[in-house]
Amino acid sequence: MPEPTTAKEIVRSWYQHPDEFIRKVLGGDPWELQVAISESVRDNLRTAVASCNSTGKDWLAARLAIWWLMCFERATVVTTAPSWHQVRDIIWGELRDAYMHSKIPLGPEPNKTDWQLGPKREALAVSTKEKERVMGIHNDNVLVLITEASGMPEDIMDGIDTLMAGGNCRLLLISQPSRREGTFYKAFTTERSLYHTIRIPYDITPNFKHGRTVRPYLITEEWVNAKRVKWGENSPLWDVHVMAKFPDDEETRLIPIDIIEAAVDRELMQEEPGVSLGSDIARFGRHLTVHTLCRGGTIEGQYAFRGESTMESAGRIKSFFELHAGIRVAVDATGVGGGVVDKLEEDGFDIVPVTFGSRANDSSRYADRLSEIYWHLRTDFMSGLLSLPRSLPYVDELMSQLSMMEYKYTSKGIIKVYKPDSYEHSSPDFSDSLALAREAQHELVGAEAFMV
């Protein structure tokens, strides 16, 4: 095919071959499914992509934004995501990087969250709180790019649907499939006829298709193997982040995956007072003794030990009393934990002993104490009261264990929390420890706030 020569021919060629635009103009090297996504955006009104981790989602979205603006004189690109950090720092960081490495001039330099190339030629970032702003956007050619789309609130999606009503419009939803509800989930189920859908599990990405690391910035065998050990292949986190599958049994999931992930590095609006500790006690074997320290709603640390004697565990808990004045401590009193409780009480320490299988404090609502404590923990997550720092050394294990817990209503209409039979690990040590720490915190601030 002859090379285009006139400006109009060049632009037409760019539109017809978005992957060539990314290569020849922006100096990028899209891989096979990035090319397929680009072509789907060109050809289809709506495209939805369910992807595993690290497939170049934001990289591609940013370059498609530039491609669209370069193909039309009257064009608008709208970028959004559930968090402002995702929009401003990640998508727009990628966009500015692509601009800086372009092989041809692309006009004025982009700002942090908008790019004006003319009176009707712009790219802009919008937050999930700006439904009215979205609904007010009108242009001949509109491209809407939504990353982490599984977590998008439905009201902003309603606004985007209105924006798509007229003109030459395209919508790209791209995300890990973390939630079995909302627009992104519907794109793969009840509204699939409206979308061209693409799924990207780990094993069709370049480093796995070639059997070696050819693109180190994409998902790697080392990362997948680590998650296989930390999560297990029966974990919902494995389904979402590795297999690009929507999690099963979401209706019985105690804490939905998207709610857990929203708590990672959360900036709490109002910090609770006090310091609390939850100690889940084990003695020998592969079980771990885990101590979770919380300052208000922020997990400051999780400390895991294998093969400790009851006296060693008691001594370690005493050290937390010495380091943190006014700390409130809840200790697993089940089995060998009873000896730790006895020692601490004998030495005059004020603790909250918890026997998971015992009668709930509110037996009219909960089947046992474990159900009661975990339901309080669920409420904390659903209310946005917890922050899980990504730097925690056992954050993967904690998130996996939390995501595995399920619940049901018994024939008497009370709540029963349990771990499913498919649970690969012998005990949810990290999640039990966190639940205990939060129960200690409830003792500090009053449990009635957590009973919804």
CA dihedral of residues 43, 49, 55, 59 (deg, nearest 10) = 50
Task: Give me the DSSP letters along 261-318.
Answer: HHTBT---SSPPSSEEEEEE---STT--EEEEEEETTEEEEEEEESS--HHHHHHHHH
| Segments of 195-285 assigned E as strands | 196-200, 275-280
Beta carbons of 13 and 24 less than 8 angstroms apart: no
**CATH numbers and ranges of domains, the chain:** 7-209 (3.40.50.300), 257-450 (3.30.420.240)
Q: Per-residue pLDDT tens for 319-351?
A: 999 999 999 999 999 888 999 999 999 999 999
pLDDT at 452 over 50: no
CA distance 366 to 254: 14
pLDDT of 200-258, one tens digit each? 999 999 999 999 999 999 999 999 999 999 888 988 999 999 999 998 877 899 999 99
Residue 284 has pLDDT above 70, yes or no: no
User: Per mean pLDDT, which range of 215-229, 271-285, 368-382 is the poorest?
Assistant: 271-285
Distance CA 368, CA 414 (A): 10
Please report which helix (H) or strand (E) contains residue 171, including its range. strand 168-175
Lowest mean pLDDT among 97-101, 112-116, 164-168: 164-168
Mean pLDDT of 64-72: 96
**pTM of this prediction?**
0.83
Mean per-residue pLDDT of the chain = 92
